[in-house]
Copies of this chain bind each other. A is one copy, B any other.
């Protein structure tokens, strides 16, 4: 049973961003752009979790949260533009389950959603992390953050692991450097695209016995070989 996440924000950009990450992680996503619609959707559709922006046209996030709490204990993650606002929310004790300031890292949003759903409990240990991936003689275990080639462990650093995982989860698909920066580094990373190249070089060096290799698609990006 896939979880349904309701994302409420008046900026379509934020909704699109969240949707991209959440759907890639196997969630269904619905959205609303104002407080009234949000409140109605929460009570009618009973999503598994709500991501709720504080500033909304019409009924604001605080008000939505208060009203919803009268009838439902759906987990709520509040988004705020300024970190100081968090104090306000917390002070009001209106029952949000977690808070994030914009601009937020989508990977962090994902992590908190998973944490809360896990806490809310449905016994599924497996929605914490994707299942292990095996490609030829390569094994990637996201939960343990372990990689093996022919059963021999390979010592990867954080970015190397994330990069490999991203490529392996979409074996054969070409990722542009920009795409990889978005997926692995987060949408607010402000560095150069060449950073990706350096990590790919490290990976290739450490994985030189790997059956599928990381191919360069000239002028486009990288992919984990399919064949």
A interface residue numbers (CB < 8 A to B): 10-13, 16-17, 20, 55, 73, 81-82, 87, 90-91, 93, 95, 97-98, 103, 108, 111-112, 114-115, 118-119, 122-127, 143-146, 153, 157-158, 172-176, 178-179, 181-183, 187-192, 217-220, 223, 226-227
A81 to B63, CA, bound (A): 20
A97 to B175, CA, bound (A): 25
15 A-B residue contacts at CB 8 Å?
A: A13-B73, A20-B124, A20-B127, A82-B91, A111-B191, A115-B187, A115-B189, A122-B176, A122-B178, A122-B179, A123-B179, A123-B181, A144-B173, A145-B174, A146-B172
A175 to B144, CA, bound (A): 9
Whether A226 and B124, one on each chain, are in contact in the complex, defined by CB atoms closer than 8 angstroms, is no
Residues of chain B with a CB closer than 8 A to A172's CB = 144, 146
Whether A190 and B115, one on each chain, are in contact in the complex, defined by CB atoms closer than 8 angstroms, is yes
Number of copies: 2
Given A123-B179, A144-B174, A158-B218, output 9 extra A-B contacts at Cβ < 8 Å: A10-B93, A11-B95, A13-B97, A81-B93, A108-B190, A118-B178, A119-B182, A144-B173, A144-B223
Whether B126 and A176, one on each chain, are in contact in the complex, defined by CB atoms closer than 8 angstroms, is yes
Whether B173 and A143, one on each chain, are in contact in the complex, defined by CB atoms closer than 8 angstroms, is yes
The 6 closest A-B pairs by CB, nearest first: A111-B190, A122-B178, A158-B219, A123-B182, A119-B187, A115-B190
Residue of B nearest to A95 (CB): B11
Residues of chain B with a CB closer than 8 A to A10's CB = 93
How far is the CB of A92 from the nearest CB of chain B, in Å? 9
Residues of chain B with a CB closer than 8 A to A125's CB = 176
Whether A87 and B82, one on each chain, are in contact in the complex, defined by CB atoms closer than 8 angstroms, is yes
A122 to B174, CA, bound (A): 13
Residue of B nearest to A108 (CB): B190
Whether B179 and A126, one on each chain, are in contact in the complex, defined by CB atoms closer than 8 angstroms, is yes
Whether A73 and B12, one on each chain, are in contact in the complex, defined by CB atoms closer than 8 angstroms, is yes
How far is the CB of A18 from the nearest CB of chain B, in Å? 12
Residue of B nearest to A123 (CB): B182
How far is the CB of A165 from the nearest CB of chain B, in Å? 12
A11 to B188, CA, bound (A): 28
